[in-house]
Amino acid sequence: MSNQDLAGDDACCSPLVRQPLTGDRAVDLARMFKALGDPVRLRLLSLVASHAGGEACVCDISGSFDLSQPTISHHLRVLREAALLECERRGTWVYYWVVPAALRQLSDVLGIEPTEVPA
């Protein structure tokens, strides 16, 4: 290993990220990635994000899983607590939508361009 500073024009590669994460941002992102570490929650986020109109009711997405509605609701709550989803009760049903700022944060750290999410 060399002690030479490779920053600047002499660097062999350009950096993968613009700047290192702050402590607070790392905590926020870790909470989001931890929530997405479960395949059911990852699929739920994908289903909600791709649902017509950008929002989905539990009744719309429960059929996509071989899980009980309370289990689906638990996973949705974890996504909500990680600030990935927001929700609103309408009558007896709760509707969920993806938080666009959360998708942007995940996309920024992963270095990908998200598609436009309806506000």
Expressed as residue numbers, the domain containing 77 is: 21-110
The CB density around residue 82, as the number of other CB atoms within 10 Å, is 21
Length of the chain: 119
**Total structural domains in the chain?**
1
Q: Which ranges of the chain does DSSP label H, i.e. alpha helix?
A: 23-35, 39-50, 58-61, 69-81, 100-110
Mean pLDDT of 9-27: 72
Answer yes or no: is 78 within a domain: yes
- Specify if 15 maps to a domain: no
- Give the three-class secondary structure for 98: strand
Residue at 43 is within a domain: yes
35 within a domain of the structure (yes/no): yes
Which residue reads 């600030």 in tokens?
Answer: 83
Which letter, b or e, does each residue of 51-62 get, where b requires 16 or more Cβ atoms within 10 Å of its Cβ? beebbbbbebbe
With respect to residue 105, please indicate whether it lies within any of the assigned structural domains: yes
**Strand intervals (E) in 1-119:** 55-57, 85-90, 93-98
Q: What is the pLDDT of residues 76-106, one digit of tens each?
A: 999 999 999 999 999 999 999 999 999 888 8
| CATH classification at residue 48 | 1.10.10.10
pLDDT tens, position by position, 45-69: 999 999 988 899 988 888 899 999 8
| 119, part of any domain | no
**Domain membership flag for residue 52:** yes
